Amino acid sequence: MDVLAAARSWLDQDPDPQTREELAALIARAEQQDETATADLAARFAGRLAFGTAGLRGELGAGPLRMNRVLVAQAAAGFAAYLAERAATGTQPSVVIGYDGRRNSDVFARDSAEILAGAGLRAILLPRLLPTPVLAFAVRHLGADAGVMVTASHNPPNDNGYKVYLGGADEGAQIVSPADREIAAHIQRVADELGVPDLPRSDAYEIAGEDVVEAYIAATAAVAPAPASAAGMRWAYTAMHGVGWETFQRIVERAGYPAPEVVAEQIAPDGAFPTVAFPNPEEPGAMDLAFTTAAAHDAEFVLANDPDADRLAVGIPTVDGWRRLTGNEIGLLLGARAARAAAGRPGASLACSLVSSPGLGAIAERHGLDFHTTLTGFKWISRAPGIVYGFEEALGYLVNPETVRDKDGISAAVAMLSLAAEARGRGTTIAGLLDELAEEIGHYASGQISVRVADISLIAAVMTRLRAAPPAVFGDRAVARAEDLLRPVEGGPSGDVLRYTLDDGSRVIVRPSGTEPKLKVYLDVVGDSAEDARERLSALDAAARAVVGAD
């Protein structure tokens, strides 16, 4: 009865006809003792989506444990209260709002603009669906106090999310603690005290001009203007049914690169993502159409953005067919590029998440730069002191920190185009660049084991087991150092992460995913040759699966 009462109360304030119909039908069935409907309601009303350092993200649908207009309205009102509370007396906080092509992204963005304006803030809505990096850029470019991006990035089609940025001293980066807790407290107060119909709304929000988009295009094209060797370069591109192409196309032209062959079936925004099982370039099969297009046009490489264009994937041809580079391979290539440009600059640093390749540290050392490891997420990487470049292995790269303090798959793509063109001018390829880098810093190889679960408690059980009985060996390699980052060394990153360094310098890191019901295991080795590194990685993969129970 408590669940039914909560559902009826939610229904009374829901402004969305679709979710109202969905919830009303569930309530009616539950009132008739339908066990499936009762269980569904219980799952939707067992709590609420937690607002954390990644904002909100979840499946679309009615109820507080789904993404919907009620939850977004409460989030916008709570965020408005947080910004008003921290604003200087007599000032009007400003917020930029962006959205991508997912279902309801535009609706959630306009709701947010109306509620932020209704709360007395200056709300600025971007002119149309655009990549996440454009929103991150706009926060800094417009000198805004905050930004909101409605996106679920590369999550499944029926998900959406609400990502929050702060300007001022935060320089347009995503929120970190304690801001997340303070915003969450304001959101909860709104949910407890006000119904959505009671929230003040106003249509006095602004629509940003095209000059904001044009400024992003100009800044990103300037990251790497095309060298002469780019002439005639053949490449393919997919937007993965996302919003990247319109903006990226203009940047490619402005920077002087030849136009790519595009994957026609995936080039226009489509929130249903009809040609992929999972709209993430990392997932098996997601880039198959891109590889087919590339092969048909004898392309030298493939570039792919994820649906909101904050990630970049790269594919290259091999004797066995097309291969997607790992995020670490791309990260080290772009890191070496940045290090060469920043060599000798006092205080300049490279940074990566603690689960990304330690090869970036070797690059930093080789070029006399500082090096930082952080917790996963660009909310941490972007805050590294003196950062000139940062990356994480999940296809995220920050190559232009003076304009965008977040991962940016479009500026990373421009930087990769420049690397490919320069290699072409020397008679080599992207694969050749990887070989050259390995000769300089060593043959680093990385792998990942991802264990998806239906019951998220299983992940906690594995972490508890490993903490209670830390492994002494992985296969035939002894654990030289075991670290639990819930109890980090002073000044080190802190989180639900277990890190094991083995006696041959290999590394195993275990952590729960921050966005999906997965346990993730990261493997890193360095070998004397590419073959040696592959053999070490294969052995470590088998050993790690046995330790965590992933077989």
Cis peptide leading into residue 64 (ω within 30°): no
Q: Of 296, 297, 298, 294, give the one whose Cα is nearest residue 314.
A: 294
The pLDDT score that the predictor gives to residue 454 is: 85
What's the farthest any 2 CA atoms get from each other in the chain?
74
CA 16 to CA 191: how far, in whole Å?
17
What are the C-alpha distances in Å from 19 to residues 3, 31, 34, 47, 70? 17, 18, 19, 18, 10
The pLDDT score that the predictor gives to residue 443 is: 96
Q: What are phi and psi of 136, to 5 degrees?
A: -60, -40
CA 75 to CA 368: how far, in whole Å?
45
Q: Is the pLDDT of residue 311 over 70?
A: yes
What are the C-alpha distances in Å from 340 to residues 281, 369, 444? 28, 10, 19
The pLDDT score that the predictor gives to residue 493 is: 74
The amino acid occupying position 359 is G
Q: What is the DSSP letter of 516?
A: S
Token pair, residue 239, equals 């937007």
Work out the number of other CB atoms within 10 angstroms of the CB of residue 285.
10
Q: If phi over 0 gives left and psi between -120 and 50 gives alpha, with beta otherwise, what is residue 168?
A: left
The pLDDT score that the predictor gives to residue 30 is: 95
What is the overall mean pLDDT for the chain?
Answer: 95
The amino acid occupying position 488 is P
CA 16 to CA 412: how far, in whole Å?
38
What are the C-alpha distances in Å from 372 to residues 179, 349, 383, 412? 23, 7, 10, 20
Q: What are phi and psi of 96, to 5 degrees?
A: -100, 135
486-522 pLDDT tens trace: 886 666 677 899 999 999 999 999 999 876 788 999 9
CA 458 to CA 466: how far, in whole Å?
13
Q: Is the pLDDT of residue 168 over 80?
A: yes
Token pair, residue 196, equals 């959505």
Work out the number of other CB atoms within 10 angstroms of the CB of residue 467.
13
CA 394 to CA 528: how far, in whole Å?
26
Q: Is the pLDDT of residue 396 over 80?
A: yes
CATH classification of 443-548, choosing from 3.40.50.920, 1.10.260.40, 3.30.310.50, 3.40.50.720?
Answer: 3.30.310.50
| 419 strand-pairing partners | none
The residue to which tokens 């470049």 are assigned: 389
Residues with active-site annotation: 153
137, 173 contact by CB (below 8 A): no
Kind of pairing, strands 507-512 and 518-527?
antiparallel
Token pair, residue 46, equals 């067992």
Q: Is the pLDDT of residue 86 over 90?
A: yes
Query: What is the three-class DSSP state of 279?
Result: coil
Q: Is the pLDDT of residue 104 over 90?
A: yes
Residue 420 pLDDT level (bands cut at 50, 70, 90): very high
Token pair, residue 448, equals 């990942």
Residue 25 pLDDT level (bands cut at 50, 70, 90): very high
Query: What is the three-class DSSP state of 182?
Result: helix
The pLDDT score that the predictor gives to residue 161 is: 97
Q: Of 441, 460, 464, 442, give the one whose Cα is nearest residue 451.
A: 460
Q: Is the pLDDT of residue 431 over 90?
A: yes
123-152 pLDDT tens trace: 999 999 999 999 999 999 999 999 999 999
Token pair, residue 304, equals 């792919």
- What mean pLDDT is predicted for residues 309-318? 98
The pLDDT score that the predictor gives to residue 491 is: 64
531, 71 contact by CB (below 8 A): no
The pLDDT score that the predictor gives to residue 515 is: 67
| 322 strand-pairing partners | 317
Q: Of 474, 446, 473, give the one whose Cα is nearest residue 534.
A: 446
Q: Of 403, 390, 413, give the one whose Cα is nearest residue 226.
A: 413
- The answer to whether domain 233-439 and domain 443-548 are alike in fold is no
CA 526 to CA 528: how far, in whole Å?
7
357-381 pLDDT tens trace: 999 999 999 999 999 999 889 999 9
150-166 pLDDT tens trace: 999 999 999 999 999 99
Write out the E strands in 37-144: 56-59, 94-99, 122-125
CA 501 to CA 480: how far, in whole Å?
6
223, 337 contact by CB (below 8 A): no
The pLDDT score that the predictor gives to residue 490 is: 64
The amino acid occupying position 263 is V
CATH classification of 233-439, choosing from 3.40.120.10, 1.10.10.60, 3.60.20.10, 3.40.50.300?
Answer: 3.40.120.10
Token pair, residue 366, equals 């080789």
Residue 203 pLDDT level (bands cut at 50, 70, 90): very high
The pLDDT score that the predictor gives to residue 376 is: 87
CATH of domain 47-208: 3.40.120.10
The pLDDT score that the predictor gives to residue 489 is: 65
| 392 strand-pairing partners | 396
Q: At CA 277, angle to CA 275 and CA 282, rounded to 5?
A: 105
Least confident of 266-275, 291-300, 516-525: 516-525
Token pair, residue 500, equals 């094991």
Q: If phi over 0 gives left and psi between -120 and 50 gives alpha, with beta otherwise, what is residue 343?
A: beta
**Domain layout of the chain by residue ranges:** 47-208, 233-439, 443-548
Per cent of the chain over pLDDT 70 is 99
370, 356 contact by CB (below 8 A): no
437-486 pLDDT tens trace: 999 999 999 999 998 888 888 999 999 999 999 999 999 999 999 999 98
What are the C-alpha distances in Å from 36 to residues 4, 32, 371? 14, 11, 53
Kind of pairing, strands 235-238 and 301-305?
parallel
CA 170 to CA 121: how far, in whole Å?
19
The pLDDT score that the predictor gives to residue 1 is: 61
CA 151 to CA 154: how far, in whole Å?
9
Indicate whether this model's pTM tops 0.85: yes
